Amino acid sequence: MTYDLIIRGGTVVDGTGAPARTADVAVIDGVIAEVGRVDGTASRTVDADGITVTPGFVDVHTHFDGQATWDPHLTPSCWHGVTTAIMGNCGIGFAPVRPDRHDWLVDLMEGVEDIPGSALSEGITWEWESFGAYLEALERMPRALDVGAQIPHAAVRGYVMGDRAHDTATSMDLEAMSGIVAEGLRAGALGMSFGRTAGHRSASGEPVPGTYSEENELAALMGVMADVGSGVLQVVPAGVGGAIGGDQRHSIDAEIEWITRLGKQYRIPLTFLAMVNEQDPHDWRQWFAAVHQANAGGAAIRPQVASRAFGMLMGHQSRMNPFRHRPTYRPLMELPLAQRVQRLRDPEIRARILAEPPDPSPQLTADQLNEHTFKRLYPLGEALDYEPSREDSIAAIAERQRRDPWEVTYDVLLGAGDANFCCCRYSTTPATTTTICTT
């Protein structure tokens, strides 16, 4: 038999959970026709000896909403086997949008995901207003990867409520939002996303609109999805990863309660982000038990769990910086990077910043370090190590050098000594990790 493509002798990992095996993969008209020992010829043959052969990965949680409008390759995801990227997660995205709210949505994305607002402002051409027009703009661009988009709750709120986007929605607001969601789903949206964690804030420091939406609003939008009969709801629950700054207005347990109850009521496919926190690394057991019970009653809920702990970049080029809470550092943040680094190398500035206590803040953020987090803070050199040992942590370095860990962190972020690029805060629990980067 003649094939278009045969990939010979690769280590096939097929995604079913079966053990890896050596096999050939044959393709006709872009479809896998045979896996195993393939006889025959092909227009093209690839020798995959020593190479892993897998299906393309579907990345269900990305924030390519802006980049997808100008980058057909969606780098760096295309370098790592991703062939489909799903965006519009966490309730944030760039449609629907009114012409005077472009900067507002950029501010949201920059704050939540630390994507430079300047890149988004320069790269996005804003060829749309409605969500359907956004999908059409995506469709017009030839691309190497498939993309799918969800309707972001914050953008819908901003479109309908304008400057009242953080207020309680009125009945008229709910009617308008419901119409937008229904229209977007019929236009081809993969679903909708809610962002509910207090840890997500705009670059201006405001909560993401919808963070504190009342249940009647959530239920109304879930009801629209059920009526239309399509779409998956993605939720980032309040309290995920642990309480932020003691904010108990919505806890993860309360979130799981409405997720399972409304999920059972509306029976729409629903996925929520499940993260382990160090205070109670076994919380997930009770969440999953509630999900199993709801699914047995007709719900279709799937917790969304990362395959490895995730990181958060911090440093002088990042919105996240452990020294931005010091009074002397704050004015330096407005300087160009080279000038800021030069000032930070001044011994007097260094001594003053290290002597200052962080400003008290009602909103605890991930870059506010303490004696416990230094144990999960690691320098990231030129050769990245995703599984560093405890001896490599800032806490261990400080102990060996008999120095204060804040001093070590300060010097690492300036590229002093042997650690000259980044440091990373890395959680040992299965689903939480943080990373920080320097100059």
What is the average pLDDT across 132-148?
Answer: 96
Whether residue 193 lies inside any domain: the answer is yes
- The model's pTM: 0.84
DSSP structure class, residue 358: P
Dist. CA 408–CA 401, nearest whole Å: 9
394-421: per-residue pLDDT in tens?
Answer: 999 999 999 999 999 999 888 754 333 4
Q: Do 84 and 96 share a domain, yes or no? A: yes
**pLDDT score of 327:** 92
Final residue belonging to a domain, choices 55, 78, 93: 55
Q: Does the pLDDT at position 433 exceed 80?
A: no
Full residue range of the structural domain in which residue 32 is found: 2-55
**pLDDT score of 362:** 52
Q: Do 36 and 73 share a domain, yes or no? A: no
Q: Do 94 and 39 share a domain, yes or no? A: no
Dist. CA 226–CA 293, nearest whole Å: 20
Q: Torsions phi, psi of 232, nearest 5?
A: -110, 140
Placement of tokens 């393939």 in the chain? 38
Quickly state the pLDDT bin for 209 (edges 50, 70, 90).
Answer: very high
Final residue belonging to a domain, choices 236, 265, 298: 236
**pLDDT score of 169:** 98
- Express as a percent the part of the chain with pLDDT over 70: 89
Whether residue 36 lies inside any domain: the answer is yes
Cβ 198 vs Cβ 244: under 8 Å = yes
Q: Does the pLDDT at position 422 exceed 90?
A: no
Question: Measuring CA to CA, which residue among 389, 356, 364 is closest to residue 375?
Answer: 389
Least confident span in 296-305, 344-353, 423-432: 423-432
Overall number of domains in the chain = 3
Dist. CA 70–CA 42, nearest whole Å: 35
* Ordered DSSP codes for 376-402: GEEEE-SS--SS--GGGSHHHHHHHHT
What is the average pLDDT across 329-336?
Answer: 90
What is the average pLDDT across 415-430?
Answer: 43
Three-class DSSP category at 353: helix
342-372: per-residue pLDDT in tens?
Answer: 999 999 999 999 999 877 665 556 677 777 7
* Ordered DSSP codes for 114-166: ---HHHHHHH-----SSHHHHHHHHHHS--SSEEEEEEEHHHHHHHHHGGGTT
Dist. CA 155–CA 189, nearest whole Å: 14
Whether residue 345 lies inside any domain: the answer is yes
Whether residue 273 lies inside any domain: the answer is no
Q: Do 360 and 219 share a domain, yes or no? A: no
Q: Does the pLDDT at position 248 exceed 60?
A: no
Whether residue 249 lies inside any domain: the answer is no
- Express as a percent the part of the chain with pLDDT over 90: 69
Dist. CA 263–CA 291, nearest whole Å: 9
Start-to-end Cα distance in the chain = 56
Dist. CA 72–CA 143, nearest whole Å: 4
Identify the CATH number of the domain in which residue 18 sits. Answer: 2.30.40.10
Quick check: bond before 76 cis, omega within 30? yes
Q: What is the 3-state secondary structure (H, E, C) of 282-319?
A: CHHHHHHHHHHHHHHCCCEEEEECCCCCCCCCCCCCCC
> Could you tell me the sign of the dihedral formed by the alpha carbons of 112, 113, 119, 125, in that order?
negative
Q: Do 115 and 62 share a domain, yes or no? A: yes
Q: Does the pLDDT at position 91 exceed 60?
A: yes
Cβ 77 vs Cβ 62: under 8 Å = yes
**pLDDT score of 418:** 38
Q: Do 36 and 65 share a domain, yes or no? A: no
Q: Do 112 and 64 share a domain, yes or no? A: yes
Dist. CA 365–CA 432, nearest whole Å: 15
In this structure, the number of other CB atoms found within 10 A of the CB of residue 383 comes to 6
**pLDDT score of 434:** 33
Question: If you compute the radius of gyration of the chain from its CA atoms, what whole number of angstroms results?
Answer: 24
Q: Do 212 and 356 share a domain, yes or no? A: no
Q: Mean pLDDT over all residues of the chain?
A: 88
Identify the CATH number of the domain in which residue 129 sits. Answer: 3.20.20.140
Final residue belonging to a domain, choices 202, 236, 270: 236
Dist. CA 237–CA 274, nearest whole Å: 8
Q: Do 223 and 121 share a domain, yes or no? A: yes
Q: Do 425 and 367 share a domain, yes or no? A: yes
Whether residue 281 lies inside any domain: the answer is no
Burial code (b: 16+ CB inside 10 Å, e: under 16) for 398-413 equals beeeeeebbebbbbbb
Three-class DSSP category at 260: helix
Q: Do 201 and 71 share a domain, yes or no? A: yes
**pLDDT score of 250:** 57
* Ordered DSSP codes for 216-233: HHHHHHHHHHHHHT--EE
Q: Do 45 and 78 share a domain, yes or no? A: no
Cβ 136 vs Cβ 345: under 8 Å = no
